[in-house]
Amino acid sequence: MGYKVAVVGATGNVGREMMNVLTERRFPADEIFAIASRRSLGTEVSCGDQTLKCQDLEQFDFSKVDICLMSAGSAVSKEWSPKIGAKGAVVIDNSSYWRYDQDVPLIVPEVNADAISGFAKKNIIANPNCSTAQMVVALKPLHDAAKIKRVVVSTYQSVSGAGKDAMDELWAQTKAKYVPGQDVEPNKFPKQIAFNCIPHIDVFMEDGFTKEEWKMVAETKKIMDPKIKLTATCVRVPVFVGHSESVNIEFERPISADEAREILRDAPGVLVVDKREPGGYVTPVEAAGEYATYVSRIREDTTVENGLALWIVADNLLKGAALNAVQIAETLISRNLLKAAA
């Protein structure tokens, strides 16, 4: 017998990928419900070879589902995740709202699957920020081998990380730049995103860092090790899908580039593509649609003691969101933490 799964945010970038991933991985679902706002009532979304009609979040009876994959933004998660959890469904939440709550596990299955056991306090499990998820998949095996002291990361984040309207904005601006006199005003982004890059994601904080940068620090500490020091610069780039990261790491113990390459070749969820020749590395265009987190450009950074530099690329809608959420649900099942509804 299978599970009843609700996907909240089913018309969105992440929700649509959740439907694909559930189908592709043959998730043992008896029934999948597509849920969105009242605006989308009756809208058809595809889920494998089925077409599902969207239902209204406010009217849906969550007592009939076992798992709820939640992907409709922080405000919706704040209000609805506890309500849905209280009805007995396990909520796997994609927003940032619950990630830092000590009663809510923040999980990347390849990295800290054991932390999942604490979920029953609120019946909510949080999915990390897309940039954190792909980074910790690559950092964890290196941390186990040589203990990371400090990380300096710069991200190159695609517009799909900001939702479907952001993708439309990049497309509209790109087309407009080819037709003189047809400029499109920035709306979702603070400045032109086509043919540009913007060093600003989420709101500014008092110390000058952005909330996106703060999330990478707080989430890495919660998922991997509170002792790791991390500083981030998060940048939006005119790429539709796929986040890239340039990462400099300082370890406690020496680790060579060859050793790191070997460790990463064996690491779950990681694919190493690292030929030191033109094209011998992965770019976001190649990572889009793929489940793996790719690591390229592995090299020793001799400007610090025990330093390494890497390039990490993954599909932000998959490992950064939908795939990780489905992997969490699979972990619940494989550890017998979920009972199917009678």
Active site residues: 130, 243
* Number of shown-chain residues binding ligand NAP (CB under 6 A): 28
Site string for ligand NAP, 83-112 (x = CB under 6 A): -----------xx-----------------
Token pair for 55:
């239902």
Among 320, 327, 328, 332, binds ligand NAP (CB under 6 A): 320
Which member of 85, 105, 141, 161 binds ligand NAP (CB under 6 A)? Answer: 161
Find out whether 241 and 158 touch, Cβ atoms under 8 Å: yes
Interface with ligand NAP includes 293 (CB under 6 A)?
A: no
Verify binding: residue 28, ligand NAP, rule CB under 6 A. no
Does 14 sit near ligand NAP (CB under 6 A)?
Answer: yes
CA distance 201 to 64: 37
- What is the nearest approach in angstroms of ligand NAP to the Cβ of residue 56? 8
Rule CB under 6 A: is residue 72 a binding residue for ligand NAP? yes
- 71 belongs to the binding site for ligand NAP (CB under 6 A): yes
Among 73, 82, 88, 238, contact with ligand NAP (rule: CB under 6 A)? 73
155 contacts ligand NAP (rule: CB under 6 A): no
Q: Is 37 in the site for ligand NAP (CB under 6 A)?
A: yes
Q: How far is the CB of 130 from ligand NAP (least distance, A)?
A: 4
- Pick the piece of the chain touching ligand NAP (CB under 6 A) from 31-39, 114-122, 245-253, 302-310: 31-39
Q: Closer to ligand NAP at the Cβ: 39 or 275? A: 39
